[in-house]
């Protein structure tokens, strides 16, 4: 069986395409060391900087300055309409979502910490006695803020989604409105996993 041919004319072209793809996956990324670049073979800081420079020169990337950050972030030019919508829309209905540990949004933990003041670690490989929360805890994103963490268990034999534990960030109160949003997302999660019953916030 023959190996598939590399569709790119050079290693540089391959790197530039991968950088573009990773930025697209995460949404915004910086031109610095990041877990978002993991898995790109033999990818050095020099390669990364060259790819960024090429993409900026081709007007495929735009620089985004975020208050409080010391370095700029970069957005795909074709995705600028998403940023424009966020900046020009005065009112929008916030969604509450449980974010999967391997979601691209969480690839760069330092960026999440800098942007959202939220420190998340997937503790599935952390020894039990060193875990702060649990082995499979999901961040809770509500609107533009990470408001806590939730631990769920799919009891397949019973067809039940169990709410094992939850932790809210400092200053977040479990109001009736927030309970309603959490319960709505729990229902969606249960249905997605084929559970007929699920725990709720009472």
Q: pLDDT tens across 100-148, in order?
A: 999 999 999 999 999 999 999 999 999 999 999 999 999 999 999 999 9
Cβ partners under 8 Å of residue 147, min gap 6: 140, 141, 168, 169, 172, 178
Write down the pLDDT at residue 65: 96
Which class for 50: exposed (0-12), middle (13-18), buried (19 or more C-beta within 10 A)? middle
The answer to whether residue 2 scores a pLDDT higher than 70 is: no
Residue-wise burial string across 59-76, b where 16 or more C-beta atoms lie within 10 A, e elsewhere:
ebbbeeeeeeeeeebbbb
The answer to whether residue 70 scores a pLDDT higher than 90 is: yes
Q: pLDDT tens across 15-35, in order?
A: 999 999 999 999 999 999 999
The answer to whether residue 88 scores a pLDDT higher than 70 is: yes
Can you tell me the mean pLDDT for 50-54?
Answer: 97
Q: Domains in the chain and their CATH numbers?
A: 11-88 (1.10.10.10), 96-198 (no CATH)
Which one has a higher pLDDT value, 142 or 87? 142
Write down the pLDDT at residue 77: 98
User: Residue 150 to residues 134, 146, 155: CA-CA distances in angstroms?
Assistant: 9, 11, 16
The answer to whether residue 1 scores a pLDDT higher than 80 is: no
CA distance 189 to 96: 12
């Amino acid at each position: 069986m023959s190996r598939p041919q590399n569709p790119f004319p050079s290693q540089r072209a391959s790197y530039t395409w991968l950088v573009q793809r990773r930025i697209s996956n995460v949404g915004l990324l910086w031109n610095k060391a990041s877990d978002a670049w993991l898995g790109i073979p033999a990818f050095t800081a020099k390669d990364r900087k060259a790819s960024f420079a090429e993409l900026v020169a081709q007007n495929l990337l735009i620089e985004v300055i975020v208050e409080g950050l010391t370095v700029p972030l970069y957005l795909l030019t074709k995705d600028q309409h998403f940023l424009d919508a966020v900046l020009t829309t005065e009112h929008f209905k916030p969604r509450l979502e449980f974010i999967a540990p391997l979601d691209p949004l969480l690839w760069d933990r330092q960026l999440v910490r800098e942007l959202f003041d939220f420190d998340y670690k997937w503790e599935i490989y952390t020894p039990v006695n060193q875990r702060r929360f649990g082995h499979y805890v999901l961040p809770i994103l509500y609107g533009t803020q990470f408001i806590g963490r939730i631990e769920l268990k799919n009891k397949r034999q019973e067809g039940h989604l169990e709410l094992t534990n939850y932790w809210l960030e400092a200053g977040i109160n479990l109001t009736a409105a927030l309970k309603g949003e959490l319960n709505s997302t729990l229902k969606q999660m249960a249905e997605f996993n084929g559970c007929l019953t699920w725990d709720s916030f009472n």
